[in-house]
Every structure is written in C-alpha cells, then in structure tokens.
Chain A
Amino acid sequence: MIELISPARCTGCNICVSVCPMDVFQPAGSGRADGTAPVIARQSDCQTCFLCEAHCPDDALYVAPDAETVTGIAEDAVAAAGLFGSYRRAIGWTAAHRENRSADQTFRLLAPH
C-alpha cells in the first residue's frame, strides 16, 4: 500500500495524482494538501500496483509490499534501505539505468528447461 510521499523529494508536479488508477491522492495545493506535496487521501483504495512509483520523476513515493495493512514505515528507513526509486531503476526508467528497458529475459524462462 502507498505509505509515504517524501516532502523533501516531492516537487509538487502532481503526476502521481494523475496516474494513480485508483485515485488515491489529493493534489498539492488543494483541500487537505495545502503544502507543496499531494497527500494520500484514500490510502485503503490503494491496490499496491507500484505504478505511482514508476511514474514519479523525483523518486519521492514509497509503496510498501503489504496490500492489506499500513506498515507506518518512516522515510529514513526507506532511504536507508535504498528503496526510493528502486522500481524505476529496475524497469529502466532512470537515465542511469536505461539499459534495463530492454533487459526482459522472459524468452529464456519460456524455453523448455
């Protein structure tokens, strides 16, 4: 489930608000989100698909793997574990990891073994 938006990393672009297929976020600068970052307004609607992370250009979001419960993990712990932006790097959506976009090895797994 979506756990946190890092206020230090977030630039308030609101891309996560647009791309979340479950409409979990409230945009920055509206209603409860009176700061520079969106807020997680409907956390229990999160389907744990990790796509907000994939589309965040600033690696400011963290989705915990727990689909049913809120873990309450702190930003420091996410940063210390190197988890901010880890999905984006794995799929090659950062400049430094572009080669991962074409790294799909599924064809090897489908071959008889």
Chain B
Amino acid sequence: MATVPGAPVSSSAASLDLETDVLILGGGPAGTWAAIAAATGGARTILADKGFCGTSGATAASGTTLWYVDPDPAKRAAAKASREGLGGHLADHGWMDRVLDRTHAAVGQLADWGYPFPRDADGRERRVSVQGPEYMRLMRRRVKQAGVTILDHCPALELLVDGGGAVAGAVGVQRQKGGRWTVRAKAVVIATGGCAFLSKALGCNVLTGDGLLMAAEAGADLSGMEFSNAYAIAPAFGSVTKTLLYQWASFTRADGEPIPGAASKGGRSVIARVLATEPVYARLDRAEPELWAAMRQAQPNFFLPFDRAGIDPFTQRFPVTLRLEGTVRGTGGLRLVDGTCATAVPGLFAAGDAATREPICGGFTGGGSHNAAWAMSSGHWAGLGAADHARALGNGTRTLRRAGGAGLQDRLRGGHGGVIDAGGLTRAVQAEVFPYDINYFRTEEGLTGSLGRLDRLWTDAAGAMPASADTILRVREAAAMLATARWMYRSALARTESRGMHRRIDHAALDPAQHHLLTVGGLDEVHVSTRPAPVRLDPVRLDPTEAGRELAA
C-alpha cells in the first residue's frame, strides 16, 4: 500500500540479520539458475526458500520436458511456430530466439555438471527431459558450490524498499529455527513460482503467489494474468498432475460409455463439463504394450499412485479429476521491462513462473518444456541483471522501510486492528477459482460476481494487522492468493474474446482487434491496461496438426 508509510526496519526485531548484494527469493529452477549466475559473476548472493531448495516447487516433485532444440535454423523455426496459434500469437520471436539459445547452453552445463541424461539405441545422449528430484538435487549442489548462502525454510513475508522506492531486501520468518530474518540487499530476484491456490497439484502447494503480492506491494505490475486457468488431469484420489501419458487414455462415464471428444489434448474442457455433474474415468488403453516399460521409465512418479492403490492404469479404469494449476501452468506473472528480467521497480527482478511467460509462449503452455526453458533462461538473466544492478549501486547508506500491506498492518501502519483467518480466507478464494463454471468457462456474469466477492474480501484483508508468529505465513499466503485471484479475473473480464488458454463462453471467438497484451496491477484498486503485442518480423508457417502434436505436457 503505497499510501501507508511503512514502519522503519529495526534489526532488533530480527533474529537473523544479513546484508548481501543479491537476494533470491525461491529455490526452484529459476531461483537456482539465478543464484548461480549472480554468484558466478562475483556478487555476494543469498537464496531464501519457503521450503527446501532442492525439493520446493513444481519441478522437483515432478520432472519436465525441456524446450531444447538444436541450433539448426529449420528446427528452431519449427519450434517457434509450433505453439504460435495455441498461444494466441502473442509470443515474441526475439525472446524465443534468446531463450532457445540460452536453454541449449544451460542444458549443456547440466550435462557437464554430471546430469545423467539417457542415451538412445544409437548411443546418443538425449537431452529433452529431466527427472525432477535428480535435476533439483544437482542444482542445489551447484548453488552451494557457487558460494551462495542458502536459507531453507525461510519464507519471505515482505520486501524492503529505500527512500526512492527501490527494492532493498526482504523480511521473513525462520519457520524451523524460529524468529524473523532480515536480508538487506542491493537487488532482489523474485523466483517464487506461480500460484496454484493450494490445489494439491503435484509439488504446487508451495506456490501461493507470495512473490507476486510482495512485488506488487513494492509497485511492480503484472502481465497476462488472464492466462491463469490451467487445469491438469490427476487420479481423483491423488496429487500427480502429470498429463503427458494421458494422450494414450480413453475417457468414460461410470457405466463405461465413452465420452465423445474427451481427451487430454484438445478435449480437456469436455472432461471438465462432464466432471461438473458426474465422475469421469480414464484408462491408458491406447498405449501399445511395447510402450508400457518406456512410459514407466519416463515418468516413475506418474505410476506411484497406481502401484500403491493396486490399479493397473493400462487395463483398469480409474476416476480422474482436474486440479487447478493456476499460473503455474498458465503464463501470467510479473511484467518484465527488459532483457535483464527487471520489473518496473528498480532493484527488483523476476524469473521463472513468477514472471510472465508470454514472451515465449503467449497465452498458453502445456507445462514443462517452455516453462522449464524459461526458468533456466530468465533465472540466468535475472541473476546477472541483479548482480549488475548491485555493482552499479555502490555502497551508500540507505534508510529502508517495509513494503508489506495485507496482514502486516499494525496500528502504526494504519491497520484497522482486525486479523485474517487464513484458513477461512483460503477457502473463500478457492471457492472462486476452483469451480470450472467460473474459471475454466468464463463469462462476464461469472467473473463480475466473483470479483465482487473477492473485492469485499480484500477490503477486510488489506488493513489486517499482523497475526501470531505461527500463522503469519499462512495469512500472507492467503492474502497473496486473494490478490492473485483479483488480478486474474480483472484481466479475464477485460479480454472480451477467447485467446490462448483464456476461454470466454460469451466471447467464444478470437478477436483480431484484441491482439494485445494486458498489464494489470494495483492492490486496493486493480487496474488493467493494454500494450501492443510484439510485432513478428519473420514469417512463420502455421500447421495446425504440428501445433496439436506439440501440445504435450
């Protein structure tokens, strides 16, 4: 809340008080690549993770395909064209080129560092995917070897800003050791991931939009938040939202009747419509038995729920659900203002799913692939950009204040004296973003009604005072999810067409007049404005069948 003068920072309130050049918030792929880049460039670097750097986030628990394409002009052109239409023609070819280059280099580094890429029958190393636990264990090791200080189980609660409004560190809690932490930094990288609203999508409950809220409180804005309604297929009882193998599934009703049009790719909305009123079953019976072993070796964790529940997914039907992955598999996030992944606020950079991925995929990603490439690339650039910013800043003394609002407003900061019930607020936000008939199938009526309720929740939350030490993290998570939901729906209301993953029932067609990007920002008042879409310089052939095949996640 820019109008409320924040309380000055007192080091006595913090039990851990550090000073550094670059502070990275979040220790998933983007944060670890950022930390390595910053530290290798000579910056003193601290990485603070809400959970544990190496297991936190959507990648570690899962695994991912990589947008790894040989530097062959024809292959690169095809790779860029493959999702052009799916993304609503909003991607930027300049960004795609540099991400493809950077990802190729980063994956080469992974191989040099000893990542055990598989070999094919010809003995050729294949670098198109990584296993999550293996990848992130390696990244943690490399972060430590780069001389980065890792603070595990140290969620940030709010950013620090200087008198000129530049970001200058963060404050958080040490949830295992107890007490607070304060890190004064010359630059901060937000790599806290997207927001999946505690839906229990695989590895995603760490991802509650905390960094988006903190950045917005410091004055940053966002982009593409209408592209935030990704739902992933999972066994109804389970958490494993990996969808690649469902391309071999058939989908049926309880009585075994096939559901016409239901499919993982291009037919997921059909599944959602049926799920609204009755259970949907799947069976991977379109996979030839000779492929079964390869599928198990490709995704060992996909099979954990089935093996443990005593289900053979190739021959037996099992109930499925759709879990919201929000902006994790969406493309919205903090708006970047240049190639260093700087946000609109001096000293603040963003990377990975916390940043908008529109530059490389417009309004759609199938998960993995582009998101993984984006984390590697934007992380690297944000780390370098933050290190450069820190170097240029020098060593002057700055007076800092805390920038946090909702749930942190004691009376000194203009709070109303009430507290946020984190569980109640979380459930209230989930009731607005989980339902298919509000978020998946969007209408003006549905979005407007939801926004009215969300805005009222914000009015209460915005001035709430600090909760007790053991609930303050949950309070801030709930506030972050609430803020994220309001940016999502305000953007979705403004885009009166269907483009990318954003589907408006009342505006079912793509509207050429809305070939633009949406900036959204603000907390008490949420405001949306348009920016021109990138101009494509090179002509690209669009083959819809190719595009469909690429849509694997």
Contact = CB atoms under 8 A, between A and B. Distances in A.
A108 B248 CA distance: 14
B117 A102 contact: yes
A7 interface: no
Contacts of A21: 50-52, 55-57, 60, 203, 206
B119 A102 contact: yes
Nearest to B549: A112
Contact of A49 (B120, B237, B239, B297): B239
Nearest to A102: B116
Interface string B232-265: 0001011110001100000000000000000000
B118 interface: yes
Contacts of B134: 91-92, 101
A100 B60 CA distance: 17
Contacts of B202: 47-49
A28 to B, nearest CB: 14
Interface in A10-31: 17-23
Nearest to B550: A110
Contacts of B175: 23
A65 B305 contact: yes
Contacts of A113: 291
Nearest to A78: B308
Contacts of A4: none
A97 B117 CA distance: 16
B153 interface: yes
A103 B118 contact: yes
A22 B298 contact: no
Nearest to B58: A49
Interface in A28-54: 45, 47-51, 54
For the residues of A in contact with B, the DSSP-based class is loop
A108 B51 contact: no
A107 B131 CA distance: 12
Contact of B52 (A19, A65, A87, A104): A19
Interface string A60-79: 00001111110000000000
Interface residues of B, number: 59
Question: Which residue of A18, A90, A105 has the most chain B CB atoms within 10 A of its CB atom?
Answer: A105
Interface of B: 50-52, 54-57, 60-61, 63, 65, 116-120, 126, 128-131, 133-134, 152-153, 175-176, 200, 202-206, 235, 237-240, 244-245, 291, 293-301, 303-309, 549, 552
Give chain A's interface residue range (CB within 8 Å of chain B). Answer: 35 or more
Contacts of A104: 63, 117-118, 129-131, 297-298
A83 B129 CA distance: 26
B248 to A, nearest CB: 9
A32 to B, nearest CB: 15
A51 to B, nearest CB: 4
B55 A20 contact: yes
B65 A106 contact: yes
A87 B239 contact: no
Contact of B51 (A22, A54, A83): A22
20 contacts: A18-B52, A18-B152, A19-B52, A19-B55, A20-B51, A20-B55, A21-B51, A47-B239, A65-B304, A65-B309, A67-B237, A87-B300, A92-B134, A103-B297, A105-B294, A105-B295, A107-B120, A108-B298, A109-B291, A109-B295
Interface of A: 17-23, 45, 47-51, 54-55, 64-69, 83, 86-87, 90-93, 100-110, 112-113
A49 B55 contact: yes
Contacts of A65: 235, 237-240, 304-306, 308-309
Contact of A54 (B133, B238, B308): B133
A90 B300 contact: yes
B244 A109 contact: yes
A51 B60 contact: yes
A36 to B, nearest CB: 19
Nearest to A1: B239
Given A101-B116, A103-B118, A67 B200 contact: yes
A51 B61 contact: yes
Contacts of B309: 65
A91 B300 contact: yes
A67 B176 CA distance: 24
Question: Which residue of A49, A64, A112 has the most chain B CB atoms within 10 A of its CB atom?
Answer: A49
B168 to A, nearest CB: 28
A68 B303 CA distance: 18
